[in-house]
């Protein structure tokens, strides 16, 4: 571990020199890469300096215990040594996790898609509950969000809803939300108090920039149509809805939330880029992804990742065997405990793979 830290310390000095180069800002792509690496190495070096100070304190205390004649000083040194040794394991664990190379995707913004699955109206209502949960979480984090498309039901649920979240470390925080979310509760429409089980699928897509995904005009079919759905002044009156079909992959995106055809097309292109980016990343990282599935799942929509049991106020994440009896708070957006546990579990898995 020390050898690796020294290598990173050397690299940190090189990166700091790179930052001083006046021409760096001219190449925006390289500039972002250098600044991203600098931020990561700064965190590592901060912990490394604390670790070196801790080791120095331990060595000094051990020296006093073995060489000092004064009994009181020896006792003070023993107490100090005990305190420092207790601080050592958690700091070493923190550094080990920091040594896992960061995934460049973690800093990306996301497009999240939530769809009601089995359970009819109840699934649609829970899809709306999840949407509100993620929006409240984003607000607590100071992230921005934008509703992109929604297909509402008469009871106020969502057959499907698509929205974007932008901010610091968004994908890194929410990437493990992809999958099937199962809910167990008494629906509002249930007259006999029976508990129903429904399911909702969530997909988290890292949002691609235009320079990262090149969509050729000849590979794209654009169809315009009249928007459908409940109510709305422009619904079924103007050809504002847009359907994009990416011919090479067969991916289809339909956008009808805006009254403007131009705005709908722009939003549809963002979703299409995100899906193509995810497809490309999956191809490049299939071997690594296969290993990761064993730990925290692939985000495959056919995979049940979590259960929300309302009668017991219980949330269970099946991938890491995490159970919390605070579902009421979690549904209000207090997701940090769940998100942090999943991120740490994923890093620990990668750490074991790297060590092997």
Q: Which residues contact 274 (CB under 8 A, 6 or more apart)?
A: 110, 111, 205, 206, 207, 208
**Distance in angstroms (rounded) separating the CA atoms of residues 13 and 218:** 47
Lowest pLDDT segment from 3-17, 145-159, 269-283, 318-332 = 269-283
Segment 76-98 mean pLDDT: 89
Each domain of the chain, given as residue ranges in start order, spans: 2-98, 107-211+284-355, 217-276
Return the percentage of the chain with pLDDT > 70, whole number. 88
217: DSSP letter: G
The residue whose two tokens read 């992109």 is 148
Residue 152 contacts residue 186 (beta carbons within 8 Å): no
119-154: string of b/e by CB count within 10 Å (b at 16+)? bbbbbbbbbbbbbebbbebbeebebebeebbbbbbe
CATH ID of 107-211+284-355, from 3.30.1330.80, 3.30.70.1660, 3.20.20.140, 3.40.50.720: 3.30.70.1660
Segment 221-237 mean pLDDT: 63
CB atoms within 10 A of CB 305: 24
The residue whose two tokens read 């620990």 is 348
In this prediction the pTM is: 0.69
Q: Is the pLDDT of residue 43 over 80?
A: yes
Residue 220 contacts residue 242 (beta carbons within 8 Å): no
Sorting pLDDT into bands at 50, 70 and 90, what band is 228?
Answer: low
For residue 258, the SS3 value is: coil
102: DSSP letter: P
Work out the angle at residue 246's Cα, subtended by the Cα atoms of residues 244 and 250, and round it to the nearest 5 degrees: 110
For residue 187, the SS3 value is: coil
Q: Is the pLDDT of residue 49 over 70?
A: yes
**Residue 193: predicted pLDDT:** 74
Q: Which residues contact 140 (CB under 8 A, 6 or more apart)?
A: 333, 334
Residue 205 contacts residue 278 (beta carbons within 8 Å): yes
Query: Among 179, 187, 101, which Cα is nearest to 338's?
Result: 179
Ranked by mean pLDDT, which of 91-95, 208-212, 348-352 comes out on top?
A: 91-95
C-alpha distances in Å from residue 7, one per residue of 24, 70, 162, 275, 312: 23, 41, 43, 37, 50
For the chain, what's the residue count? Answer: 356
Q: In what helix (H) or strand (E) does residue 282 lie, and over which residues does it extend?
A: helix 261-284
Sorting pLDDT into bands at 50, 70 and 90, what band is 296?
Answer: very low
Residue 116 class from Cβ within 10 Å (0-12 exposed, 13-18 middle, 19+ buried)? buried
Sorting pLDDT into bands at 50, 70 and 90, what band is 211?
Answer: low
CATH, range 217-276: 3.30.160.20
Sorting pLDDT into bands at 50, 70 and 90, what band is 29?
Answer: confident
Retrieve residue 277's tokens: 């980016």
Q: Is the pLDDT of residue 156 over 60?
A: yes
* Backbone φ and ψ of 112, nearest 5°: -110, 135
Ranked by mean pLDDT, which of 65-69, 165-169, 310-314, 345-349 comes out on top?
A: 310-314
Q: In what helix (H) or strand (E) does residue 44 lie, and over which residues does it extend?
A: helix 28-67
- The domains spanning 107-211+284-355 and 217-276 adopt the same CATH topology: no
Pairing between strand 158-166 and 144-152?
antiparallel
Query: Among 52, 202, 205, 24, which Cα is nearest to 116's?
Result: 202
Q: Which residues contact 119 (CB under 8 A, 6 or more apart)?
A: 126, 183, 196, 197, 198, 199
Query: Among 52, 315, 310, 282, which Cα is nearest to 194's?
Result: 310
Q: Which residues contact 321 (CB under 8 A, 6 or more apart)?
A: none
Mean pLDDT over the full length of the chain: 84
């Amino acid at each position: 571990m020390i050898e690796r830290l020294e290598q990173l310390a050397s690299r940190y000095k090189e990166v700091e020199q790179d930052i001083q180069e006046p021409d760096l800002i001219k190449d925006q792509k390289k500039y972002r890469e250098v600044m991203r690496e600098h931020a990561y190495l700064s965190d590592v070096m901060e912990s490394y300096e604390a670790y070196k100070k801790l080791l120095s304190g331990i060595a000094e205390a051990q020296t006093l215990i073995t060489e000092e004649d004064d009994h009181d000083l020896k006792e003070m040194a023993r107490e100090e040594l005990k305190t420092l040794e207790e601080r050592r394991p958690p700091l070493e664990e923190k550094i080990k996790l920091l040594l896992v190379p960061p995934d460049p995707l973690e800093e990306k913004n996301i497009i999240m898609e939530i769809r009601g699955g089995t359970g009819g109206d109840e699934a649609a209502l829970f899809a709306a509950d999840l949407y509100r949960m993620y929006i409240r979480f984003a607000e607590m984090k100071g992230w921005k969000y934008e509703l992109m498309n929604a297909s509402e039901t008469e009871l106020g649920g969502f057959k499907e809803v698509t929205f974007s979240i932008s901010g610091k470390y968004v994908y890194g925080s929410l990437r493990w939300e992809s999958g099937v979310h199962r809910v167990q509760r008494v629906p509002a429409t249930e007259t006999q108090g029976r508990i129903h089980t429904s399911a909702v699928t969530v997909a988290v897509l890292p949002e691609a920039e235009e320079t990262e995904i090149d969509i050729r005009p000849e590979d794209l079919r654009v169809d315009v149509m009249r928007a459908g759905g409940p109510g709305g002044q422009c619904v079924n009156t103007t050809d504002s809805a847009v359907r994009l079909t990416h011919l090479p992959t067969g991916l289809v995106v339909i956008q009808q939330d805006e009254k403007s055809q131009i705005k709908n097309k722009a939003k549809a292109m963002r979703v299409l880029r995100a899906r193509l980016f995810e497809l490309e990343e999956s191809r490049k990282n299939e071997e690594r992804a296969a290993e990761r599935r064993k730990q925290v799942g692939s985000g495959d929509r056919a995979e049940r990742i979590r259960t929300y049991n309302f009668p017991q106020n219980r949330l269970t994440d099946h991938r890491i065997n995490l159970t919390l009896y605070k579902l009421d708070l979690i549904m209000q957006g207090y997701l940090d405990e769940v998100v942090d546990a999943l991120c740490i579990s994923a890093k620990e898995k990668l750490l074991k793979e790297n060590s092997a």
